[in-house]
Amino acid sequence: MTSPPYCNRYDYTRTYALELAYLGVTETEIRRLRQRQVSCTVEHSSKIHELEVLYESLGQHDRFKHILRVIRSNAALQEINAALTTRWNRGDLNNRGVLQMIDGYFIEMGFVFAEILRTAKPGASIAFVNDNVRYGGEVIPVDLITTSIAEDLGFQADTVHVLVQRKGNSSQQMGKFGRAELRKCITIWRKPA
């Protein structure tokens, strides 16, 4: 059971810059740490090459290609990537980095799901807490996309619990695109027995 970083552009290396400085972490180290994190800010660059090198070094290149192919073929992810590209072309997005961030987030989380599936006991239940997000007016149903990717990888989807959410949309999103309810969810998946 876990709550991973959400795809919400929060950069914990900035949120905790004071604490990191207190611990003696230098600016260069903070920058390196930022790029090593799961993609969830517009500054993150693709980690596909890094992942490929890692899997290759473990003699698992075919597995890398398989996982990436499964994630890339996911219809929900393709749809959201296309919708965001349209929003970017229409001038709705304020930062092009959102496109890479969303794609990178789901790809990296997909690799996490694949490794959890490999290492969990048969029949195990897996719970992820996550928030849906919205960029350029486009609501991104993180709960449903992650569940769909998890299913494609071999999990059985069990339940999506919707939690009471008090957080609203950002004022910029609401002003330009109106209000949309953003779910906070716990998704439960099962590894087949």
Ligand X SMILES: C[S@@+](CC[C@H](N)C(=O)[O-])C[C@H]1O[C@@H](n2cnc3c(N)ncnc32)[C@H](O)[C@@H]1O
Is residue 2 near ligand X by the rule CB under 6 A?
yes
**Residues between 6 and 25 with contacts to ligand X, criterion CB under 6 A:** 12
Query: Of the candidates 17, 38, 157, 160, which one interacts with ligand X according to CB under 6 A?
Result: 38
Is residue 165 near ligand X by the rule CB under 6 A?
no
Query: Of the candidates 37, 81, 125, 156, which one interacts with ligand X according to CB under 6 A?
Result: 37
Q: Which long-range contacts (CB under 8 A, 24 or more apart) does 156-165 make?
A: 156/189, 156/190, 156/191, 156/192, 157/187, 157/189, 158/125, 158/188, 158/189, 158/190, 159/186, 159/187, 159/188, 160/185, 160/186, 160/187, 160/188, 161/185, 161/186, 161/187, 161/188, 163/129, 165/131
CB distance 187 to 147 below 8 Å: yes
Output the smallest distance, CB 12 to ligand X, in A: 4
Distance between CA atoms of 130 and 127, rounded to whole angstroms? Answer: 10
Site string for ligand X, 114-133 (x = CB under 6 A): --------------------
Is residue 45 near ligand X by the rule CB under 6 A?
no
- Which segment (32-40, 76-84, 88-96, 111-119) binds ligand X by CB under 6 A? 32-40
Q: Which of 69, 191, 55 is nearest to 121 (CA)?
A: 191
| Complex with ligand X: residue 37 or 100, whichever CB lies closer | 37
- Which segment (34-42, 75-83, 151-159, 163-171) binds ligand X by CB under 6 A? 34-42
Q: Which of 104, 172, 177 is nearest to 138 (CA)?
A: 177
User: Which spans of this chain sit near ligand X (rule: CB under 6 A)?
Assistant: 2-3, 5, 12, 37-38, 40
